[in-house]
Copies of this chain bind each other. A is one copy, B any other.
Amino acid sequence: MSGSEFQLINHYFSRLGVDRTDVLLGVGDDCALLQVPEGQVLAVSIDTLVEGVHFFPGVDPESLGHKALAVNLSDLAAMGADPAWITLALTLPRVDEQWLAAFSSGFAALAKRFQLQLVGGDTTRGPLTISVQVHGFVASGKALRRDRAKPGDLIYVSGTLGDAGLALLAQKGAYDPGADLAALQIRLDRPEPRIGTSQSVRDLATGAIDISDGLLADLGHICEQSRVGAVINLSNIPLSDPVRVYVEKQQDWTIPLSAGDDYELCLIVPARHQAEIEARAQGLDVGLSLIGQIEVGETIRCLDENGTQIQIGSGGYDHFPSS
């Protein structure tokens, strides 16, 4: 891109308006210089969104800017980390001011909400590709890891599951949720990273994952890395009204359990903290539901309201022996 095009692009992203004291040197030198607070370790995660793969061409750029950052912040929430800095590698087919204004506005609004500073980036010409790396802090030894779940631990999820999956199904024309479509679509297009929920209860949890690939797949990662199994009570899975109607009508649990894209948290909590986490959950904007328990084993068992084990699609988890 030409120098003036770069200036134009930088103009949009320079308006993020967050100015942190732990950024010793921001954009404009060979590297950014950043200070991790004493006693804290650095948590980093990177995600890429590609047009035509992760989002449809022509998707609302303001929502896209939000989502590109939100899916990364969700990883920090799942690690129990506080958000701090972002880098953005943006590849654009052309300089479209209207698109840039909307994209950067969605990105900046979320960044500002969590006091994230953009400390570096690279803008290049090419097919639309967005790579965001987030950087956060977590107190030494306090991270919510996938490999610490123990039999007897409780499994909680935040919010409701299946809304984004049902929106995608509707988008494909495979189901009509009627007047609920708009609300479902917002869950798909503008996921809300559960940073606040994580900050409120992380000291009670030992592990967490964000539900991007579906509860069974993501809880499966925890089970695999912790070498345990799990049991899930389907009647305790938190569902919004339209997803509850869908599950009852279609007798299909794959949408809440395997569809993903909800970016809710799945938390692993030692049983001794049950009363405390449920007391704290009262004060949160987003509900926390106890959906099951870690157990000895190599599979995730799903039980219906009668305690009968049922098989859910192909989205289940079977231990894959690591070599």
Complex Cα spacing A251 to B122, Å: 35
- Contacts A42-B42, A126-B127, A145-B25; A91 near B48 (Cβ below 8 A): yes
Most B CB atoms within 10 A — which of A38, A91, A136, A144? A91
A120 at the A/B interface (Cβ < 8 Å)? yes
Report B-chain residues with C-beta under 8 Å of the C-beta of A143: 24-25, 31, 33
**Secondary structure at chain A's binding surface: helix, strand, loop or mixed?**
strand
A121 at the A/B interface (Cβ < 8 Å)? yes
Question: Which bucket holds chain A's interface residue count?
Answer: 35 or more
Complex Cα spacing A146 to B43, Å: 28
Partner of A89, one of B35, B48, B79, B210: B48
| Stretch from A50-58, A161-169, A282-290, A304-312 forming part of the interface with B | A50-58
| A91→B31 contact, CB < 8 A | no
- Contacts A36-B42, A133-B133; A76 near B31 (Cβ below 8 A): yes
Report B-chain residues with C-beta under 8 Å of the C-beta of A127: 50, 126-127, 129
Complex Cα spacing A272 to B218, Å: 60
- The distance from the CB of A120 to the nearest CB of chain B, in whole angstroms, is 5
| A129→B76 contact, CB < 8 A | no
Convert A104-138 into 0s and 1s, putting 1 for each residue whose CB lies closer than 8 angstroms to a CB of B.
Answer: 00000000000000011110111101010101101
Give residues of chain A (8-58) contacting chain B, Cβ–Cβ below 8 Å.
Answer: 24-25, 28-36, 38, 41-54
Convert A142-159 into 0s and 1s, putting 1 for each residue whose CB lies closer than 8 angstroms to a CB of B.
Answer: 011111000000000000
| B33→A43 contact, CB < 8 A | yes
A residues apposed to B, CB below 8 Å: 24-25, 28-36, 38, 41-54, 75-76, 78-79, 81, 87, 89, 91, 119-122, 124-127, 129, 131, 133, 135-136, 138, 143-147, 208-210, 225
- Of the A-B pairs whose beta carbons lie under 8 Å apart in the complex, a sample of 24, sorted by A's number, is A25-B145, A29-B145, A29-B147, A30-B76, A30-B79, A30-B208, A30-B210, A31-B43, A31-B75, A31-B136, A32-B45, A33-B79, A33-B138, A34-B41, A42-B42, A46-B131, A47-B122, A48-B122, A48-B131, A53-B125, A87-B133, A122-B131, A127-B127, A129-B129
**Nearest 7 A-B pairs (CB), nearest first?**
A50-B126, A31-B43, A127-B127, A30-B78, A89-B131, A30-B75, A31-B79
